[in-house]
Structure 1
């Protein structure tokens, strides 16, 4: 799965931006905790459908 982040700092130094994930997941955020909430809401089972992601995680067969 590829997640794209558009980041910038607001005038008061707060981290803001937008998260984009395959299938329309993600959204805007303001602050680090909000970013974590957006990332947590992304549907991660899609990772299992991506052979490259499985290869990157390694093989647990022994």
Structure 2
């Protein structure tokens, strides 16, 4: 799962238009989705606007 999360975090930096639908439509398993967003938000390669958009795509806490 962590490998998949890292893959999506990297893909968000390199090909955001192809990767963003997986995040916005919540196609990934909950844990992987959350970790991918966390890793992308921690990345210096992601713009501040993209980070804000990604934070808005998080699942609500249980």
TM bucket normalised to smaller: under 0.3
More helix by share: 2
Determine which structure has greater relative contact order: mean sequence separation of CA pairs < 8 Å that are 6+ residues apart, divided by chain length.
2
Give me the TM-score of the superposition, normalised by structure 1.
0.27
More strand by share: 1
Give me the TM-score of the superposition, normalised by structure 2.
0.27
Which structure has the larger Rg?
1
